[in-house]
Amino acid sequence: MVIVRASIPRHLVIAMAILLVAVLAMSVYVWRMRGRAASLPVQATDSRPIAPPVAGPTEAVTLFVAHDDDGSLQAEGAQIPLPSGRQQRAEELLQALLTRYLDKGSHHPLGMGADVRSVFLVDPGLVVIDLNAAFADGHRSGILVEDLTVASLIHTISANISGVLRVKILVEGKERETLAGHADLSGFYDVTAVNQLAAELQAGQ
Amino acid sequence: MGARRAAGRKIVGENLIRPFATCSTSAVFPGLKRRAFRIASAFVALSTVVLLTIFLSGAATEKHLSVYSVAANYSLPLVQRNGRDYVGLLELLEPLGAVNARSDGDRWRLRYNNIAAEFTAGKTRAHIQGRETDLSAAFVLENGRGLVPVSSLTSIMPRFLGGPVTLHEDSGRLFVGSVATHFTASLAGENPPRLEFNFSAPVSPTVSTEPGSLRMTFSRDPVVAPASPTLTFGNKTIPSAIYSEGNGVAVITVNSAAPVMANFSNGGRTVTIAAASAAVQKTAPPNAQQTASVPAAAPAENSAPVARKYFAIVDASHGGDDHGETLSAGLLEKDVVLSLARSLRQELESRGISTLMLRDADTNLSLDQRAGVANATHAAVYIALHASSSGQGVRIYTAMLPYESASNDDRGPFRSWSTAQHTDIPTSQAAATSVAAEMQRRQIPERALIAPLRPLNNITVAALAVEVAPQSSDVAQLSAPDYQQLVTSAVATAIAATRNRRGATP
């Protein structure tokens, strides 16, 4: 009988030891971190400006602003500086809208740190609105209150920028099932249907 | 270039096998060096993966102790010290009475009602009410927090509470006094089979379904095992049910060969499991499917008055992990809509309208599942109930279809899922108008709107959502039975009027 003795190369033993130490260290780290969920709210660390300054001549636009007290959408005129590009115009329109919602005396307050990350115009007639997580996470839950937000965003864009047929709303660049438990974000909004909703909401309670 | 590559490979190969050159058996077994290298490499990779998996899975699952008592049912996290499960004694006693504790060096003094106790860090002996009590492991004192081994609770707790406790140590469940809920299970019928669970006290499990089984998880109910954990029924559709416990919960898993649903009755004491179709037939009229033959796209007012059965689905929105809106501290939308749904079912049935509730407990149901049942059962009307703290009165919603509606993605007899409602919008709006009119008649503030609200757009029958807000600023009104009954009776009256206009029979 021949007894075979094969020694493991030293560099493999070292590699194995390093890996085991690394695994143990990671395990201890994970164990210590367990339960320490990041409790800092998003808005506390979100220091971005609400509306970036835009230079240039101002234009008269119509913003459709939600009012929670009577559940209505009200057309309000505003003078805001608007760039020439359609995409930038859409972004500025939504920023102007957000400024109103984030004011202290807002009639339709949004959560702290709510922001529109970006707006994309994709031909033909598709607008993609990308909200930040604080917008959706801090949004109040309810069919009407979520309806008002969706109608306000979409109707403000479609009323001021021609040729918009459908709108997709994302959160942090990803599709989300609902805004805050009710308003469906999984599909594309038909601007015609939103216009009908906006007309119903403008009637108020 | 090819030769250089070949030379390179050779050099690399030599470098790799050089350490094996010392092996005295290499000449006898030339393949051994390479094989040993491969085995060692595989071992390193495997051990890394296994260790990572073990540690990470261990870190992800947190153990709990569920406590059941007459005063309160609650759950506490466990911590592991010296390979044993420990629990904070102060947290454990807090829901059961007045308790305070203070630490003094290694000593930890606790007073529960009039009973004083003293524990010493690192010691296995404690003094409770002047008597010595042995612990199964050393007492642990961490930052003023006293931890006792879970296995010692059977000796510690009776000293404080003055009565016996029962500990299921492996599953983390502690029963204070005689609070256990027992149950029996029996087949109530063979064809279609209905499995009835009768509990000795009301229960509210979380119900989830997956192919081949229905699972009831009792996290707040002191349900205990029957004589045998495996129950067999000798039925092909529902062959067996298994009771199990673990991490502070009890679970009853019903194995089934067909999709099944759970229905609660007898004040939460009876849970009936039946095949989904059978569950509907139980509450629906025998020929409820006839309503499917009605051209749904036709407006209700224009339909020919043909005698048809009229069958409603009431959907208490949200449920399970989905709480909906937090209406106020301790008042969740999912709970308010469940009691609203029960009230609406009663009102509809008192008007002769057979009703199926999609959930009658705190159950997880996806939007697709809700629409699936509504479509499969061929109900005449689907009513989703929501509650809101904002605004006043009642809002009635019909579907706002997504963009795809313009392109009409229907294929032959199949309808596009996202716009399945489009041919039924006239009947939905007729029902919504009827509900709004009835609210007006009863002087309840109302509003009819469209909304991008699933699953309304996925449903192939008349579908509406009713969102109930308080009449004043007092959110507590939402859970008041008289207000709920005022709203649900108005909805039921309006639905009955719609049925009568369609010429359907009760």
Name the residue ranges covered by the structural domains of chain A.
8-38, 58-202
Of B137 and A51, the one with more pLDDT: B137
B469 pLDDT more than 90: yes
Mean pLDDT of B159-163: 86
What is the mean pLDDT of the segment spanning B325-336?
89
Number of folded domains in chain B? 3
Report the percentage of chain A scoring pLDDT > 70: 85
Largest CA distance in chain B: 102
pLDDT value of position B498: 86
- Do B327 and B261 belong to one domain? no
Q: What is the 3-state secondary structure (H, E, C) of B38-100?
A: HHHHHHHHHHHHHHHHHHHHHHHCCCEEEEECCCCEEEEECEEECCEEEEEHHHHHHHHCCEE
On whether any CB of chain A is under 8 Å from the CB of B366, the answer is no
Query: How confident is the model at residue A44, as a pLDDT?
Result: 46
- Nearest CA distance, A125 vs chain B (angstrom): 12
Q: Has residue B4 got a pLDDT over 60?
A: no
Of A16, A186, A197, Cβ closest to residue B400:
A197
Lowest mean pLDDT among A123-132, B15-24, B451-460: B15-24
Chain B partners within 8 Å of A17 (Cβ): none
Give the residue on A whose Cα is nearest the Cα of B40.
A8
Average pLDDT of chain B is 80
On whether any CB of chain A is under 8 Å from the CB of B72, the answer is no
Residues B462, B328 share a domain: yes
CB B76 within 8 A of CB B88: yes
Q: Does B257 touch chain A (CB under 8 A)?
A: no
Question: Residues in chain A, how many?
Answer: 205
Q: For residue B362, is it within any domain?
A: yes
Tokens of B17: 């096998």
Question: Are both B449 and B339 inside the same structural domain?
Answer: yes
> Cα distance from B449 to chain A (closest Cα, Å)?
7
Do B238 and B305 belong together in one domain?
A: no
**Do both B141 and B204 map to the same domain?**
no
CA separation, residue B241 to residues A64, A171, B43, B188 (Å)? 57, 42, 42, 15
Nearest to B150 by CA among B85, B246, B96: B85
Residue A56's pLDDT band (cuts 50, 70, 90): low
pLDDT at res. B124: 92
Work out the angle at residue B350's Cα, subtended by the Cα atoms of residues B291 and B376, and round it to the nearest 5 degrees: 30
Within 8 A by CB and 6+ apart from B118, the residues are B107, B108, B109, B110, B126, B127
d(CA A35, CA B7): 55
| Residue B455 pLDDT exceeds 70 | yes
Q: Which of B176, B207, B241 is the last residue of a domain?
A: B176
Task: Starting at the earlier edge strand, list the strands of the sheet with B193-199.
Answer: B183-190, B193-199, B270-275, B260-265
Q: How far is B203 from chain A (nearest CA, A)?
A: 27
Give the chain B residue nearest A27 (alpha carbons). B55
C-beta atoms of B52 and A23 within 8 A: yes
| Domain-terminating residue out of B129, B160, B176 | B176
State the nearest Cα–Cα gap between A186 and chain B, in angstroms: 9
Contact (Cβ atoms closer than 8 angstroms) between residue B332 and residue B388: no
Residue B219 lies in a domain: yes
The alpha carbon of residue A48 is apart from the nearest alpha carbon of chain B, in Å, by: 29
The answer to whether residues B167 and B192 belong to one domain is: no
pLDDT digits (tens, 9 = 90+) for A63-78: 999 998 888 999 999 8
Same-domain pairing of B170 and B124:
yes
| Inter-chain residue contact B43 with A34, CB threshold 8 Å | no
pLDDT of residue A124: 74
Most confident of B137-151, B225-239, B291-305, B363-377: B137-151
Considering Cα of B78, then B84, then B90, then B92, what sign does the dihedral take? positive
Q: Which residues of A touch B12 (CB under 8 A)?
A: none
Helices B481-502 and B333-350: angle between axes, nearest 10 degrees: 50
Residue B54 lies in a domain: no
Range with the lowest mean pLDDT among A109-113, B33-37, B315-319?
B33-37
Cis? peptide before B77, omega within 30° of 0? no
Q: Are B459 and B424 in contact (CB under 8 A)?
A: yes
| CA gap A91, A119 in Å, rounded | 6
Question: Is the confidence at residue B217, as pLDDT, over 60?
Answer: yes
Residues of A in contact with B56 (CB under 8 A): 27, 30
Q: Are residue B163 and residue B247 in the same domain, yes or no? A: no
Instruction: Please compute the mean of the pLDDT values over residues B427-446 and round it to a whole number.
Output: 92
B197 beta partners: B185, B271
Least confident of B38-47, B124-133, B420-429: B38-47
Token pair, residue B356, equals 């199926």
**Average of pLDDT values for B111-134?**
90
Phi, psi at A93, each rounded to 5°: -60, -45
Confidence grade of residue A55 (pLDDT, cut at 50, 70, 90): low
Question: Which of B281 and B84 is assigned the larger pLDDT?
Answer: B84
Residue of B nearest to A2 (CA): B25
ipTM: 0.72
Q: B48 at the A interface (CB within 8 A)?
A: yes
pLDDT on residue B234: 81
Dihedral Cα B251, B256, B258, B260, nearest 10 deg: -30
Greatest C-alpha distance within chain A: 97
Which residue's entry shows tokens 């909401």?
A201
In a domain, B467, yes or no: yes
For B48-93, what is each residue's pLDDT tens digit?
666 666 555 544 568 889 999 887 788 888 998 888 999 999 989 9
Give the residue on B whose Cα is nearest the Cα of A166: B403
Q: What is the mean pLDDT of residues B148-162?
A: 90
The residue among B121, B151, B176 that closes a domain is B176
Which residues have C-beta within 8 Å of that of residue B130, sequence separation ≥ 6? B116
How far apart CA B470 and CA B475 sit, in angstroms, is 6
Looking at the fold, whether B216 and B293 belong to one and the same domain comes out as: no
Q: How far apart are CA B318 and CA B465, in angstroms?
A: 13
Indicate whether B450 and B350 sit together in one domain.
yes
pLDDT at A178: 92
In a domain, B17, yes or no: no
B430 vs B49: which has the higher pLDDT: B430
- Whichever domain contains B451, its CATH number is 3.40.630.40
Residue B27 lies inside a defined structural domain of this protein:
no
pLDDT of residue A31: 83
- 3-class SS of residue B270: strand
* Cβ-based contacts of A145 with chain B (< 8 Å): 388, 390
CB contact under 8 A, A2 and B28: yes
Instruction: State both tokens at A12.
Output: 């493999």
Higher pLDDT, B30 or B387: B387
**B504-505/B308-309 β-pairing:** parallel
Structure token pair of residue B261:
């649903």
Check B391 against A26: CB less than 8 A apart: no
Compute the CA torsion angle B172, B175, B179, B181 (nearest 10 deg). Answer: 20
Q: State the residue range of the domain holding B122.
A: 64-176
Distance from CA of B240 to the nearest CA of A (A): 36
So what's the pLDDT on residue B61? 64
**Among partner residues B52, B392, B402, which is closest to A189 by beta-carbon distance?**
B402
Higher pLDDT residue, B39 or A94?
A: A94
pLDDT exceeds cutoff 50 at A96: yes
Across the range A91-120, mean pLDDT stands at 91
- What distance in Å separates the CA atoms of residue A32 and residue B213, rounded to the nearest whole number? 37
DSSP H helices, B144-239, are: 153-161
Q: Which of B192-196, B312-316, B355-359 has the lowest mean pLDDT?
A: B192-196
In a domain, B225, yes or no: yes
CB contact under 8 A, B395 and A145: no
**φ and ψ at B31, to 5 degrees?**
-85, -5
- B469 in a structural domain: yes
